[in-house]
């Protein structure tokens, strides 16, 4: 009888430990290109290597060449990725489309990573590790096996709102999970 009670208590304790594990430790939410958070002007002014950007006229319309194609520009001297740690509304307002996100900078911080990709899949947070001012973000996208969903090269981004931490540097790594 004591063994049965001991096993039951052990199982209850194990369930509590697994159930209490904090999956989203920093209450982080990731927004991607599909959420249309970052403004076109911000993306154009913060170019990523290997990406073509459409040129605009003064009235905001896209420039078209003689053959009917969009005029583009590519900056081969641009970095392959850019990371921003945003700690105030003034900086945030220069980056986003108005009213797309709300951030309480008393309790939250924003970390943005721009990078080159040929996919437009949504991103998910695998883990965030924070130590001594350094944050390491691991993100992944989901790919349905056999689905051909690549596109032309473009600037992809991860826009993360999370609990306020004193982040001085941030690094990102990305992977893909195959799903059926």
By C-alpha distance, which of 120, 132, 105, 129 is closest to 158?
120
The domain total for the chain is 1
> Bridge-partner residues for 134, per DSSP?
131, 169
Of the pLDDT bands very low, low, confident and very high (cuts 50, 70, 90), residue 15 is very low
pLDDT (0 to 100) of residue 78? 92
pLDDT tens digits, 28-74: 999 988 788 999 899 999 999 988 888 888 898 889 999 999 888 88
- 67 within a domain of the structure (yes/no): no
pLDDT tens digits, 128-147: 999 999 999 999 988 777 66
Token pair 């900056």: residue: 75
Which range is least confidently modeled, 22-26, 56-60, 98-102, 133-137? 22-26
pLDDT (0 to 100) of residue 73? 86
Of the pLDDT bands very low, low, confident and very high (cuts 50, 70, 90), residue 160 is very high
Task: Check: CB of residue 72 under 8 Å from CB of residue 54.
Answer: yes
- 71 within a domain of the structure (yes/no): no
- 8 within a domain of the structure (yes/no): no
- 168 within a domain of the structure (yes/no): yes
- 13 within a domain of the structure (yes/no): no
> Bridge-partner residues for 161, per DSSP?
29, 110
Which range is least confidently modeled, 97-101, 104-108, 125-129, 167-171? 97-101
Helices and strands, counts by H and E, the chain: 3, 9
- 159 within a domain of the structure (yes/no): yes
CA atoms of 154 and 114, how far apart (whole Å) = 10
- 45 within a domain of the structure (yes/no): no
Task: Check: CB of residue 81 under 8 Å from CB of residue 115.
Answer: yes
- 133 within a domain of the structure (yes/no): yes
pLDDT (0 to 100) of residue 10? 54
Residue 173, domain extent? 22-38+80-179
């Amino acid at each position: 009888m004591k063994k049965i009670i001991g096993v039951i208590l052990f199982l209850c304790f194990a369930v509590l430990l697994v159930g209490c594990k904090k999956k989203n430790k920093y209450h982080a939410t990731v927004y991607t290109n599909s959420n249309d958070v970052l403004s076109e002007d911000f993306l154009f002014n913060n170019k990523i290597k290997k990406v073509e950007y459409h040129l605009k006229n003064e009235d905001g319309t896209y420039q078209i060449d003689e053959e009917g194609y969009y005029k583009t520009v590519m900056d081969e001297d641009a970095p392959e990725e850019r990371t921003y740690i945003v700690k105030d509304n003034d900086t945030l307002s220069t980056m986003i489309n108005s009213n797309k996100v709300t951030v309480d900078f008393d309790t939250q911080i924003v970390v943005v990573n721009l990078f080159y990709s040929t996919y437009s899949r949504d991103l998910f947070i695998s883990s965030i590790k924070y130590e001594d001012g350094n944050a390491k973000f691991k993100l992944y996208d989901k790919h349905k096996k056999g689905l051909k969903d690549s596109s032309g090269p473009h600037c992809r981004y991860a826009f993360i709102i999370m609990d306020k931490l004193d982040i001085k540097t941030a690094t990102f790594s990305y992977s893909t999970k195959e799903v059926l």
